[in-house]
Amino acid sequence: MGERDITRRGFVRRSLAAAGPAVVAANTLPYLSAPAESGAARVTVVCVGGHPDDPESGCGGTLAQYAALGHPVTVVYLTRGERGISGKSLDEAAAIRSAECQAACRIMGAKPLFFGQIDGATEVTRTQVDAMRRLLDAAHPDLVFTHWPVDTHMDHQVASVLTVRAWMEGGLRASRLYFFEVNSGSQTEGFLPNTYVDISSVVEQKKAALFAHASQDGQGIWREHHEIMAQWRGREAGVPAAEAFVHLNRDDHTHHLPGL
């Protein structure tokens, strides 16, 4: 056992100990323990992803749990994945992949929105930041999820930076910002989570949402990347399967996600 392994295990133990029993059970997001209609606080959730299938891959289980408890969940797709189908025009690919988003969001219980940038040509400009700020301000989210910014895919970076800038500049400082991972090791890099969510009960739902993206071989994405990641993060959290996040915890010093 090397020094790196000891350090990693120690980090996880310290994180779980600091967060208390809720994290040991991987119940780490706010208000995921009781339905909204039971009297628990209502949580508005917004997730911003670069392409169709990114939110499903990174935090589809968490989003599905919130939706199942009656909390409103919106998934914002920065692009429609216009360059994601070989041999198809941008418009043809966009139509196919938008339909896949609709199907995936129905499975998760979420509402899809399309931000309007183009796959492979995304940009961070003052205009785009202002547009994202207006979108998020209008949604009044309690929780915001987006890509970890250190990622090999520029569209993922753009989605993250736009979200962070909008969160910092808008009226969202009371909301909590969490970063998710996709295809860690080949896309997401340097990701050291401080928050875990047990998705053991919704793994099949997450898979179904990801499999809805047939044009992207959602089954292959799951098998090659996210099945392994769910099991590994589950091991870190002490549950069969988990999703992991980095909480930009400027609001407090806990590792709890509301209601999870």
Cα–Cα dist 49/145, whole Å: 8
CATH number (domain holding residue 63): 3.40.50.10320
For 199-220, write each residue's pLDDT tens digit: 999 999 999 999 999 999 999 9
Does residue 24 belong to any structural domain of this protein?
A: no
Q: Is the pLDDT of residue 7 over 90?
A: no
Q: Looking at the DSSP assignment, which residues form a beta bridge with residue 47?
A: 75, 145
Q: Looking at the DSSP assignment, which residues form a beta bridge with residue 76?
A: 48, 113
For 39-65, write each residue's pLDDT tens digit: 668 899 999 999 999 999 999 999 999
Tell me the pLDDT band of 255, cut-offs 50, 70 and 90. low
Integer CA distances (angstroms), 58 to 93, 113, 184, 242, 249, in order: 22, 17, 10, 11, 19
pTM of the model: 0.85
> What pLDDT score does 170 carry?
77
Averaged pLDDT, 163-176 = 85
Averaged pLDDT, 221-231 = 94
Does residue 258 belong to any structural domain of this protein?
A: no
Does residue 215 belong to any structural domain of this protein?
A: yes
Averaged pLDDT, 1-15 = 40
> What pLDDT score does 35 carry?
75
For 119-150, write each residue's pLDDT tens digit: 999 999 999 999 999 999 999 999 999 999 99
Tell me the pLDDT band of 22, cut-offs 50, 70 and 90. very low
CA 52 remoteness from chain centre: 12
> What pLDDT score does 6 carry?
36
Residue % of the chain over a pLDDT of 90: 76
Does residue 35 belong to any structural domain of this protein?
A: no
> What pLDDT score does 38 carry?
66
| Enclosing domain of residue 110 | 43-247
Q: What is the mean pLDDT of the chain?
A: 86
Cα–Cα dist 83/92, whole Å: 10
Cα–Cα dist 252/2, whole Å: 33
Residue in 32, 14, 33 with CA at minimum distance from that of residue 24: 14
* Count of the separate structural domains present in the chain: 1
Cα–Cα dist 142/134, whole Å: 15
Cα–Cα dist 134/166, whole Å: 8
Q: How far apart are the first and last CA of the chain?
A: 33
> What pLDDT score does 217 carry?
92
Residue % of the chain over a pLDDT of 70: 81
Does residue 158 belong to any structural domain of this protein?
A: yes
106-115, 169-178, 217-226: the lowest-pLDDT one: 169-178
> What pLDDT score does 140 carry?
93
Does residue 32 belong to any structural domain of this protein?
A: no
Tell me the pLDDT band of 259, cut-offs 50, 70 and 90. low
Does residue 22 belong to any structural domain of this protein?
A: no
Tell me the pLDDT band of 250, cut-offs 50, 70 and 90. low
Determine whether 193 is exposed, middle or buried from the number of CB atoms within 10 Å of its CB (0-12, 13-18, 19+): buried
Does residue 21 belong to any structural domain of this protein?
A: no
> What pLDDT score does 219 carry?
94
